[in-house]
Amino acid sequence: MADIKTNLTAAKGRIGALAKAAPDVFDGFARISKAATRDGSFTTAQKELMATAIAVCQGCEDCILYHVDAAKRAGADEAALAEALAVAVEMGGGPAIMYAGKALETFRAL
């Protein structure tokens, strides 16, 4: 549990370092991210669950940490995460099962 929180902090630190090293690129990405995750037809929580499912399919552990945290903070519950992870497994096959387990572990640790 502590490892997940430590890893999330480390991931956010790496993002912060990149933001300082490449501020123009990061500012552009931050604008895209903010626009993509604001409430619309889908809630922010739902959009963060989508991002989590994509992170699982892509096998990006830092992305899983970041988006599970954001989904939970936006009000997503474990049942909604499990549904999003089921879709990720459908789309991503065996490797997605492994990363889906990491996403569930992250949610429970946060």
Please state whether the predicted TM-score (pTM) of the whole model is above 0.85.
Answer: yes
For the domain that residue 32 is a member of, what is the CATH number?
A: 1.20.1290.10
Q: Which domain holds residue 62?
A: 2-109
Closest CA to 73 of 43, 100, 98: 43
53-87: per-residue pLDDT in tens? 999 999 999 999 999 999 999 999 999 999 999 99
Query: In the chain, how many domains are there?
Result: 1
* Confidence (pLDDT) at 1: 59
DSSP H or E run through 1? none
Evaluate whether 88 touches 53 at the Cβ level (below 8 Å): yes
d(CA 28, CA 33): 9
11-62: per-residue pLDDT in tens? 999 999 999 999 999 999 999 999 999 999 999 999 999 999 999 999 999 9
* Confidence (pLDDT) at 9: 96
